[in-house]
A and B are shown apart, each in its own frame.
Chain A
Amino acid sequence: MMSAERETMDAGHPILTLERVSKRFGTVQALEEVSLSCQTGEILALVGENGAGKSTMMRLIEGVFPPDSGMIALSGAPIAFKEPREAHLRGIRVIHQEPEIVPYVTVAENIFMGDMPRRAGLLLDWSHLEARTWEVLAAFGMEHDLRPRQLCDQLGPAQRQMIEIMRAVRAGGRLIAFDEPTSSLTDDEARRLFAVIRRLRSDGVSIIYISHRLPEIIEMADRIAILRDGRLVGTVPAREATEESIARLMVGRDLTGLFRRSRRAIGDELLTLDRLTTDHVRDISLSVRRGEVLGIGGLMGAGRSELAKAIVGYDRRRSGAVRMAGSDVPANSPADAIRCGIGFAPEDRKREALLLFRSILDNAALCIPDKVSEFGLFSRRRAFAVVEGLARKMAIKAPSLDEPVSRLSGGNQQKVVLTRWLARQPSLLILDEPTRGIDIGAKSEIYRLIDELATQGMAVILISSEMPELIGLADRVAVMAGGEVTGVLEGDAINERAILALAMPRNNATLDEAV
């Protein structure tokens, strides 16, 4: 059925054409002689490791900056946008990872922003706006989820994203590009998004789809374009693609043994959670032993990150206890948790882990004040001595340790966060989605590191939405739903079906409470 649908699409005309487009930033050739076209009514997927040039391509198309050389054409006519607004007027829209929605404004106004129906030229025509919003909502099957007069501040990521899509389509979007649209969606929400994207395609809208998730790309796309180091290394019809074949083109080599789990001696109990309860998680009793990797699985919103924040004392503890090697960890602040030997690399690197405009050195040395100071004064020499070797071990790619982390790719940014904790040497390390938005090369390096740390006797808690990670790395997997642990799997019992079964909210009441 799918393939028949795809056959008809091949007859489309190119809406967007890139011809030998190049773009350079300083010493980095971000794009080199890329020629690519997107047909009318086609879903073109764009894949590549971090830094392969996907984002640069999006910004060129949206008119954030011009190409150094080459030509971009829309429906055959060359274009040179000076700013994104001009691209929007011509029907080109990019849906970014963080939806751009005004929070304290209604759904209707967000959808019709910049083009509100008016009365007498001045007043907002509310009844008309409301009626038109209902039409748009109905067309997207969202009439039961959103109301026109609802404020947007309480909406989840999926709904915010949908509003941005509706705004793009309503404003006459002919080419809509999605940048990692499913990275903050649950599986269910992602499926609804796919349905909407397919519908857009059948309405003749062209889609450019960027994602790291290969299975969904193969399922959704008509064609897949693969970028590596700024060059287009291939375009393959999605029906002929397999995950392995795409990954091989992305990386330029075969990927064998992505996961590694050494035989390791699991030691005595290190972390004990005794009925730990905060505003977001309830009654969590778990333990982690030295040398053990405990995976935490569950759907988005199940309370996994909140469990980490409960352990480190970021969220206020309501009741229960956290113990490290038998002694209580005070509930006051992450400073106490760090003192007791707990390290935490949060999920949102840019907002929770990194000082973006400060150097690699400053970021890596943030949690080791004693090792980098002499008489209370910061010693650059000492900091360098500690960080340099670790940065080399982590293979951080940067001109120097003085480089601001904002200029690094996602994978290298994550390596800086990990370097910080390697320097601190906690006895327990909590990693929340350590490979989110990271290319496959850096991923495998992080997997190897996790295995190595556990082998050295560190206890690791690995929170992940990617089943293969949990199955491939964890010794035990605790699954969460609705802010509670619904089960702990061990050994051969760790498989996708078992994790999913535990992750599904048992009834809607618990889900609502969790949200």
Chain B
Amino acid sequence: MNAVGKEAMDRMTQRTARSHLSVALDRLGIHNVSLLLALAVLFIIFGTLRSDVFFSSRNILNIGLAITILGVLAMSQTVVIVAGGLDISVGSMVGLTTVSAAMATQITDSSTAGIVAGLLIGGIAGIVNGFIITYGRVNAVIATLGTMAIFRGIAFILSDGQSISIFNETFRFMGVGTILGLQFPIWVLIASAVLFQVFLAKTIVGRNVYALGGNPVVARFSGIKVNRYRIGIYVMSGLAAGVAGILLAARTGSGQPISGSQGLELEAITAAVLGGCALQGGKGTIAGALLGVAIIGILNNGMILTSVPTFYQLLAKGSLLILAVVIAEYQQNRA
């Protein structure tokens, strides 16, 4: 009897241990342990190939700095996707807000003006997206595909295709300065991660976003003002692009219509989907998105360290997005 009892006890403690871990991960919003495995595999590969530099604190900080812009965009994209939408104009919005922030700073020599201009233009771009999708009843992919070209075009027109240099030191601080040993952009990433997490997981509005994405008819019958939410979400995406644009301008010390912002939509959507967002809406977490961002950041960094040619890096990024969706669909069908 004792032997049996002991065995049963062992089984039970094993089970509770496992469920403790899965509960903890669930709390964080990481439902997908294979994502952690993927991260570990990347660490091992690049750690082995470039053991000299990969694990250096300098390189780790480099990765952190490199993913700040993507991190902000991946989190806002997660909110958009959870609400049942998609915003593929974010890369162009970043290009436009970078140029706007740089121009405002250059003209006024005031960092505040630069920040205001970046956020304002981002917000307006978001309102445009929101109105087209909500009141024009245009499919979100098509609407933001259109504005992707439009915003990029405006960025080119404003800058006349030129790079606009920024000499304001305060503004530059936002890209290169450090506070308590961490670069300013990393603090921005941390702050926005906390904000997004509290918003999506804790506030009533955030929970209603899940309801909206899960079933807009139910959401409407339940008294959620669906149109208002939809517009608000795209404005939020525009503001996040504004933050990203300001960081980009501050880091590069210039406003450029295309360099640095092209392809960000691909990476942001990839990170969100890797992190467990369902493209039909209603599902996704901030923690998952950050994990997705980490994977992309390490992949980018590792490919540079191991001297993978740029052209092949694009190949890897595109494949990653498709792979992420394939895995998500597979898991959904199995469940």
Contacts and interface: CB of A to CB of B under 8 A. Distances in A.
B210, B220, B223, B283 — most chain A CB neighbours (10 Å): B223
A381 B330 CA distance: 35
Interface of B: 198, 202-208, 210-211, 214-215, 217-218, 220-226, 282-283
Interface of A: 312, 314, 333-335, 337-339, 344, 346, 351-358, 362, 366-367, 369, 372-373, 376-378, 420
A369 B210 contact: no
B281 to A, nearest CB: 11
A358 B214 contact: yes
Nearest to B227: A333
A355 B221 contact: no
B204 A373 contact: yes
B221 A314 contact: yes
B282 A378 contact: no
Contact of A334 (B203, B208, B222): B222
Given A353-B218, A355-B210, A369-B208, 7 more contacts: A333-B223, A334-B223, A346-B221, A355-B214, A355-B215, A378-B202, A378-B203
Nearest to A313: B220
A335, A353, A372 — most chain B CB neighbours (10 Å): A335
B203 A355 contact: no
Contacts of A333: 220, 223, 225-226
B225 A335 contact: yes
Contacts of B205: 376
B198, B207, B226 — most chain A CB neighbours (10 Å): B207
B23 to A, nearest CB: 12
A82 B126 CA distance: 50
A357 B222 contact: no
Contacts of A338: 222-223
B210 A358 contact: yes
Contacts of A344: 221
A367 B202 contact: no
Contacts of B208: 369
A378 B77 CA distance: 22
A378 B207 contact: yes
A29 B223 CA distance: 39
B329 to A, nearest CB: 16
Contact of B220 (A334, A358, A376, A420): A334
Nearest to A349: B218
Contacts of B198: 377
B198 to A, nearest CB: 7
A90 B280 CA distance: 36
Given A355-B282, A377-B198, A339 B214 contact: no
Contact of A314 (B210, B220, B225, B283): B220
Nearest to B220: A334
19 contacts: A314-B220, A333-B225, A351-B218, A352-B218, A352-B221, A355-B210, A355-B211, A355-B214, A356-B215, A357-B214, A357-B283, A362-B207, A366-B211, A366-B218, A367-B222, A367-B223, A377-B202, A377-B204, A378-B202
A372 B214 CA distance: 20
B119 to A, nearest CB: 22
Nearest to B222: A366
A417 to B, nearest CB: 10
A352 B217 contact: yes
Contacts of A369: 204, 208
A345 to B, nearest CB: 9
The 8 A-B residue pairs whose C-beta atoms are closest, nearest first, are A338-B223, A335-B223, A369-B204, A355-B214, A377-B202, A366-B222, A373-B204, A352-B217
B202, B204, B210, B211 — most chain A CB neighbours (10 Å): B204
A335 B222 CA distance: 7
Contacts of A366: 211, 218, 222
Contacts of A352: 217-218, 221
A377 B207 CA distance: 10
Contacts of B225: 333, 335
Contacts of A378: 202-204, 206-207
Nearest to A370: B204
B217 A351 contact: yes
B85 to A, nearest CB: 17
B82 to A, nearest CB: 12
B283 to A, nearest CB: 8
Nearest to B207: A378
B203 A377 contact: yes
A515 to B, nearest CB: 22
Contacts of B204: 369, 372-373, 376-378
B196 to A, nearest CB: 14
Contacts of A354: 215, 218
